[in-house]
């Protein structure tokens, strides 16, 4: 079914839906489809004049390895395809990426996962990719598009995975992909991009390092900031709509502190509460005309909001509640709406109180069950979304209301998790 189509079923029928087969063995990329994959990837890479620099990659010319990539836009996959040419790869893809195209996705080497949960089948699929198929296994450890072109949180288990597999690790870090198609406004912009592919860890390195040392090495490699890169290189984005959608990630006014009152039009972001305005320049800076510029850098504004949420958590005052439409995603068939209800997120984690026909149900997630959470902006007409999963279900809570501050909830999930992990340590 179309992703935009609303299909309602009673909550109790969700377990009768077709299930995604996570055990189905990942395939080699179909050789007959490789020319098509290249044809769909290379033209845009050439159009954007993407420069791909390779650092010490010659030793990995023929052997399988893990390729860890940062994640900013769908264009990431096209750059990666060009970077490894003519090699083939397998890809970990979130279950929503299979909707209406599971057959072709499996033929091009994709295998599925539910986001931000431990998956008992994942390691066996990666091992098959590397040791049986002899493919490169491509992983996007941030597990979602970056909200403002900066590094997203990555799982602590990544170092343990690398240690367990003991195969070489390379990284592919792109710059400019967020600028070309930010997650908060998917209209493409004419931006020249670049990427750096680096042989990061050998088998000998991995054997000699602790998993925490491996994590530190990977985290260092993943430090990036698309807006700083734009500013440093004086890259101009001339599209007039370049600020439209920023209110989804910059939801709190730094002048009057109002939340959910930001609006955008063309190159301007404005607070409806205090009427202060900022302009996003062609080179990626923020400017204002009132003599007081709180932030001239989008990621600084974004992280200030995180600090505001962290402060509320530390003071014990954080609480978020909103009416939502509750959807479930079981397989590549698509979304089913299983009821309406209220999403509550506070210091105790998630609680969703739902109603389906005459049945009432509750969904819960403890703070330590998720180190992060997936959010969507204006998702195929369903509104903004927050999703979390268990081993059998991926739930999406959607709302078209502007006060549904999914970015704020995303901050809270991460900061709650970090605060509790630090307490446990």
Q: What's the pLDDT at 331?
A: 94
Percent of the chain beyond pLDDT 70? 99
Q: Which residue has the higher pLDDT, 376 or 1?
A: 376
CATH number of 21-232: 3.40.1130.10
pLDDT, mean of residues 288-317: 96
Q: Which CATH class is domain 318-424?
A: mainly beta
Domain with CATH 2.30.29.30 in the chain: 318-424
pLDDT, mean of residues 201-214: 97
Q: What's the pLDDT at 413?
A: 98
Per-residue burial over 188-204, b = 16 or more CB atoms within 10 Å of its CB, e = otherwise: eeebebbbbbbbbbbee
Q: Is the pLDDT of residue 40 over 80?
A: yes
Pairing of strands 136-139, 89-94: parallel
- The token duo for 409 is 């909830």
Helix H segments across 234-368?
A: 298-315
pLDDT, mean of residues 241-270: 98
For residue 290, give Cα distances in angstroms to 110, 287, 293.
51, 9, 8
What is the spatial distance between Cα 310 and Cα 413, in angstroms, rounded to a whole number? 10
370: left (phi over 0), alpha (psi -120 to 50) or beta: beta
Pairing of strands 268-271, 277-280: antiparallel
Q: Is the pLDDT of residue 423 over 70?
A: no
What is the spatial distance between Cα 242 and Cα 89, in angstroms, rounded to a whole number? 34
171 φ/ψ angles, rounded to the nearest 5 degrees: -120, 150
Q: Is the pLDDT of residue 101 over 50?
A: yes
For residue 54, give Cα distances in angstroms to 51, 85, 240, 290.
10, 12, 34, 46
What is the spatial distance between Cα 422 and Cα 312, in angstroms, rounded to a whole number? 17
Report residue 391's pLDDT band, with 50, 70 and 90 as the boundaries.
confident
Percent of the chain beyond pLDDT 90? 94
Q: Which helix (H) or strand (E) holds 84?
A: helix 75-84
Domain with CATH 3.40.1130.10 in the chain: 21-232
172 φ/ψ angles, rounded to the nearest 5 degrees: -130, 105
Q: Which helix (H) or strand (E) holds 50?
A: none
pLDDT, mean of residues 3-31: 93
Mean per-residue pLDDT of the chain: 96
Strand partners, 394: 329, 389
Q: What's the pLDDT at 249?
A: 98
Q: At what angle do helices 75-84 and 34-47 cross, to 10 degrees?
A: 110
For the stretch 214-244, pLDDT in tens is 999 999 999 999 999 999 999 999 999 999 9
What is the spatial distance between Cα 92 and Cα 109, in angstroms, rounded to a whole number? 9
* Collapsed DSSP state (helix, strand, coil) of residue 365: strand
For the stretch 44-71, pLDDT in tens is 999 999 999 999 999 999 999 999 999 9
Pairing of strands 89-94, 110-113: parallel
Report residue 120's pLDDT band, with 50, 70 and 90 as the boundaries.
confident
Q: What's the pLDDT at 353?
A: 97
- Count the neighbouring beta carbons within 10 Å of the beta carbon of residue 150: 20
pLDDT, mean of residues 262-266: 98
- The token duo for 26 is 């990942």
For the stretch 87-99, pLDDT in tens is 999 999 999 999 9
For the stretch 157-196, pLDDT in tens is 999 999 999 999 999 999 999 999 999 999 999 999 999 9
Q: Is the pLDDT of residue 425 over 80?
A: no
Give the DSSP per-residue string, 11-34. GGGGGGSPPP-TTSPPPPPPGGGH
């Amino acid at each position: 079914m179309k992703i935009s189509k609303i299909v309602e079923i009673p909550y109790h029928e969700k377990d009768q839906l077709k299930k995604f087969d996570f055990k189905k063995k990942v395939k080699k990329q179909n050789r007959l489809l490789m020319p098509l994959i290249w044809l769909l990837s290379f033209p845009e890479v050439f159009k954007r004049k993407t420069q791909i620099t390779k650092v010490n990659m010659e030793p990995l010319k023929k052997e399988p390895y893990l390729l860890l990539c940062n994640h900013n836009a769908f264009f990431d996959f096209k750059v990666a395809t060009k970077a490894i040419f003519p090699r083939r790869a397998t890809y970990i893809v979130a279950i929503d990426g299979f909707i209406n195209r599971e057959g072709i996705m499996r033929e091009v080497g994709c295998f599925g996962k539910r986001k931000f949960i431990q998956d008992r089948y994942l390691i066996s699929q990666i091992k098959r990719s590397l040791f049986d198929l002899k493919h490169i296994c491509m992983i996007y450890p941030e597990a979602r598009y970056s909200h403002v072109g900066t590094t997203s949180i990555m799982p602590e288990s990544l170092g343990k995975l690398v240690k367990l597999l003991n195969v070489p690790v390379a990284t592919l870090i792109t710059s400019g992909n967020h600028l070309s198609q930010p997650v908060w406004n998917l209209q493409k912009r004419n931006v020249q991009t670049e990427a750096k592919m680096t042989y990061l860890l050998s088998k000998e390195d991995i054997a000699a390092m602790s998993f925490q040392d491996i994590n530190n090495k990977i985290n260092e490699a993943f430090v990036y900031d698309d807006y700083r890169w734009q500013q440093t290189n004086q890259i101009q984005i001339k599209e007039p709509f370049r600020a439209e959608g920023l209110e989804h990630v910059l939801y709190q006014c730094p002048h009057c502190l109002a939340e959910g009152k930001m609006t955008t039009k063309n190159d301007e972001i404005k607070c409806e509460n205090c009427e202060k305005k900022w302009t996003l320049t062609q080179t990626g800076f923020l400017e204002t005309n009132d003599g007081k510029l709180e932030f001239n850098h989008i990621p600084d504004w974004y992280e200030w909001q995180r600090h505001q949420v962290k402060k509320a958590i530390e003071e014990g005052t954080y609480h978020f509640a909103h009416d939502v439409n509750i959807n479930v995603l079981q397989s590549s068939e698509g979304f089913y709406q299983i009821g309406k209800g209220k999403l509550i997120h506070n210091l105790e984690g998630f609680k969703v109180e739902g109603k389906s026909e005459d049945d009432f149900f509750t969904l819960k997630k403890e703070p330590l069950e998720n180190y992060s959470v997936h959010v969507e902006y204006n998702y195929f007409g369903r509104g903004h979304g927050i999703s979390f999963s268990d081993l059998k279900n991926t739930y999406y809570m959607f709302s078209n209301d502007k006060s549904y501050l999914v970015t704020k909830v995303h901050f809270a999930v991460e900061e709650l998790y970090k605060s509790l992990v630090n307490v446990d340590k």
